[in-house]
Structure 1
Amino acid sequence: MNKKNYRGYQSYQYLEAGADFKKFELVRETTLFPEYDMGVTEEQEARVQSIMANNIVISLHEHTFKAPVNLNEFFEFRRWGRDSTGYEGLSVSGLDCVFDNLMNGTAMITSRGGWKWGDILYDLGMRLSDIAHQDMVILGLTTDDIRRAKANGQIAFVPSIEGASMIENELDRLDILYGFGVRCMGIAYSEGNQLGMGLKEKRDGGLTEFGKQAVRRMNKLGMAIDVSHSGDQTSLDTIEVSDKPIFITHAGARTLWNTNRLKPDDVIKACAAKGGVIAIEAAPHTTITANHPRHNIESFMEHFEYCVNLVGIDHVSFGPDTLFGDHVGLHKAFAEALSLSASKGSQPYERVDYVAGLENPGQCFPNIVRWLVKHGYSDTDIAKVIGGNTMRVLEEVWWNPRKQGHGAGHA
């Protein structure tokens, strides 16, 4: 794989571990589980390398931190608020841009409930401080930043947040988050909030009036909107109210696996009709199918192909939602905070220790492209789904100083 310009930096090495902050033993960024053999020929692998080298590769949803080896320490690790980015693993990922969703609701520095305004800012500022001390990962604020990262052997890091609970009833907090670099935000994370309903709620009344104001403010700011964890009606309302395309950054098709964590056809169609993109999710035990009840890259790609057939190749991408560490173990540790029981549905499924072929951010996209090459997709279509479709939406949604009349006040 075409490696990035990685020079060995480890997170927070500008400080003294054990003196300036507590040191935890973190996982290695190399795979924790056996490598997944995609069975490609030498010729196919050469094509994979060429496609990734010559096209922008974007993950619409990841958490690129390194988890502690001892998950019993995870809550204490979180309370220190100091995530370590997996720079070495990212250097071989093939990614040119990653939408990183930070600690989100697990930023439990001051509260076990999560989603507090101060904790979110603490989490964001600490992570960006670390990024500012190295040069392989850059802050991705514009589409030009993404192109520059590609050209310079770097990775554009796009700060993203999965739900808007922390803004409470303060619309201007969206502007503040934008000023801190946030370029993508979800409406609700599973639980309902001031904006609308999450997928955990049994009754979904849709976007609130404040939620509609928030959507319009995000449009004006140039902040991408995500409805991955929002309820169905809230998702539909968001798509309708937004005057820009929106993202479903990490989900799949509920038709293939009946759980609230995945999206019904009408939401996927509405998203595409507005010009938006659905990116396929790979967090453990999400994109399962009846044909592939054991979660792996085959079930994941069945969701991809279903969505392509439903709305077309121009409206589908990938947001694997992976991390460096024991993802299943973390889900167990944070089952209540992440509302996992509410999102899994009642169907029996085969539990796995990891999702074969899609274990971590360093592994996903090379294997996705290998699968696409093996299954006869053209270079043009592969370029669309690994980054081109996302760039098209971002060109329309994000603020660009070269564009005239973008939102109020930018004429």
Structure 2
Amino acid sequence: MPQEPHPNYTGYQSFDYLEPHVDYRVFDVAPDLDRVPGYDLGLDEEQQARVRSIISDAHVISLHEHPKVLTTDPHQLREYNSTGRNVLGFAGLARSGMSAYFDNFMNGTNTVTSANGWKWNDVLYDLGLRFADIAKQDFVFLARTVEDVKRAKQEGKIACVAGLEAATAIENELDRLDVLYGLGVRQMGIAYSMANQLGTGLAEEVDGGLTAFGHRAVERMNKLGIAIDISHSSDRTSLDTVHASAVPIFITHAGARGLWPTNRMKPDEVIKACADRGGVIGIEAAPHTTLSPDHPEHSLESVMDHFQYCVDLVGIDHVAFGPDTNFGDHVGLHDSFSSQLTIGRAHGHVSHPRVPYVAGVENPAENFTNIIGWLVKHDWSDDDIHKVVGTNILRVLKEVW
């Protein structure tokens, strides 16, 4: 049940203010819409009407997305990413039903200039080019405050919350956090796959936890009002961060290791510690992550198994969604950057069938229509749906920002 294009979207495409092939290099990119077949939840007319009503009324916020459009040839992704000038899927966002999304600009795989893709100049370049593109239109706008996020809903627009998946690029320069905040960054991870000056990432064999500098960085992020994410941090680093922070933190995109035993999922101890301090976990949907014994073939159904598990574990007030999707071949992206990802690193042997795409949560245009549709189909109340698609996140942001 796809959404109609939002009437406030006027058709802007990335870099419309520039001349292609003259001002920038053009790559063949995937379509924003209809790359794969639509997902049929089998909703009746009354249920479909309820989905539309909820999307119209609710704050619909993705805690983690990469709504750029990927190249049609996965082998060109590294070169495309290294330009910093990536196409943003404005047309797809206009059909998403979202009123806000957290866009993690640098995710550890965006550049080829360093071992983990996190050089300071690359981060600034990536942020600046995306901010310029967003500034040339008025349907999507950069959100710096809770009031901005609320205003997007009121005005029928989409708020983009700028984030980074790790703080690696600040190296040991604490004031770089202030620079990023000044530019508009409002959410940041501690570490990605590899360890950095702040703490340990998921790929490390030895879990050193949060460093002394990491404690200082957490304190500075608290003072600035930068929401902290521990999705790609190691277990000890995650727990250390939860306890070091004076305000709640996010697990913006993950799932439950108790349901699927890989490093990329979070153990119950971390999920409960996050919730006990008032935080929220966003349920992930990137390919071959949130699988489950009942649904080992990745789809909306396995994603919702993780949702139900986390609700049962910590309660409805501490769960949201961070689908972590792109426009284009996300499986191809993972294959291209497999050495830098932690999806397959397991605590035990875990086998599962590969899928060409995650049915039902394949891209930002369809994610929340299908998630809300699933919740409606399974008789979740409007109040609970409002919480998990938006107001739980807003509650944390009011405290953090």
1:334 partner amino acid:
F
Deviation, structure 1 residue 338:
2.9
2:104 partner amino acid:
N
Match status 1:105 vs 2:108: yes
Aligned positions of 1:249-288 closer than 5 A: 249-288=252-291
Q: 3-state DSSP class of the match of 2:247?
A: coil
Deviation, structure 1 residue 106:
2.5
Match status 1:346 vs 2:339: no
Q: CA–CA distance in 1 between the matches of 2:388 and 2:175?
A: 34
Post-superposition CA distance 1:215-266 (Å, at most 9, x none): 0000000000000000111100000010100000000100000001000101
- The aligned counterpart of 2:148 is 145
Deviation, structure 1 residue 143:
0.8
- The aligned counterpart of 1:393 is 396
Deviation, structure 1 residue 70:
1.8
Post-superposition CA distance 1:55-113 (Å, at most 9, x none): 11100000000011122222221221101110000001000001001243223164464
Cα 1:344/1:138, change in 2 over 3 Å: farther
Q: CA–CA distance in 2 between the matches of 1:157 and 1:379?
A: 25
Deviation, structure 1 residue 3:
4.0
Q: CA–CA distance in 1 between the matches of 2:291 and 2:118?
A: 29
- The aligned counterpart of 1:324 is 327
Q: CA–CA distance in 2 between the matches of 1:253 and 1:338?
A: 18
Post-superposition CA distance 1:157-182 (Å, at most 9, x none): 01111111111111111111111111
Cα 1:168/1:343, change in 2 over 3 Å: farther
Q: CA–CA distance in 2 between the matches of 1:380 and 1:342?
A: 37
- Residue 58 (structure 1) aligned to one of 44, 61, 82: 61
Q: CA–CA distance in 2 between the matches of 1:174 and 1:92?
A: 34
Cα 1:344/1:326, change in 2 over 3 Å: farther
* Percent of matched pairs sharing the same residue: 59
Deviation, structure 1 residue 205:
2.0
Q: CA–CA distance in 2 between the matches of 1:128 and 1:302?
A: 36
Q: CA–CA distance in 1 between the matches of 2:175 and 2:81?
A: 27
- The aligned counterpart of 2:295 is 292
- Residue 309 (structure 2) aligned to one of 301, 306, 310: 306
- The aligned counterpart of 1:129 is 132
- The aligned counterpart of 2:171 is 168
- The aligned counterpart of 2:197 is 194
Q: 3-state DSSP class of the match of 1:184?
A: strand
Contact 2:262 2:344 (8 Å CA) reproduced: no
2:202 partner amino acid:
L
Q: CA–CA distance in 1 between the matches of 2:88 and 2:133?
A: 8
Q: CA–CA distance in 2 between the matches of 1:239 and 1:299?
A: 27
Deviation, structure 1 residue 26:
1.1
Contact 1:31 1:359 (8 Å CA) reproduced: no
2:222 partner amino acid:
N
TM-score, L = length of structure 2? 0.97
Cα 1:180/1:64, change in 2 over 3 Å: same
Contact 1:81 1:109 (8 Å CA) reproduced: no
Q: CA–CA distance in 2 between the matches of 1:21 and 1:396?
A: 41
Q: CA–CA distance in 2 between the matches of 1:17 and 1:256?
A: 47
Contact 1:167 1:174 (8 Å CA) reproduced: yes
- Residue 215 (structure 2) aligned to one of 212, 217, 227: 212
Deviation, structure 1 residue 339:
4.2
Deviation, structure 1 residue 340:
4.2
- Residue 78 (structure 1) aligned to one of 75, 78, 81: 81
Match status 1:177 vs 2:180: yes
Cα 1:318/1:8, change in 2 over 3 Å: same
Q: 3-state DSSP class of the match of 1:336?
A: helix
Q: CA–CA distance in 2 between the matches of 1:2 and 1:238?
A: 41
Contact 1:197 1:207 (8 Å CA) reproduced: yes
1:332 partner amino acid:
D
Aligned positions of 1:31-42 closer than 5 A: 31-42=34-45
Bigger drift between 69-78 and 285-294 goes to 69-78
Query: Size of the alignment, in residue pairs?
Result: 398
2:369 partner amino acid:
P
Contact 2:106 2:165 (8 Å CA) reproduced: no
Contact 1:2 1:49 (8 Å CA) reproduced: no
Instruction: Name structure 2 gaps, 5 residues minimum.
Output: none
2:270 partner amino acid:
V
- Residue 96 (structure 1) aligned to one of 88, 96, 99: 99
Cα 1:222/1:343, change in 2 over 3 Å: farther
Contact 2:209 2:237 (8 Å CA) reproduced: yes
- The aligned counterpart of 1:401 is none
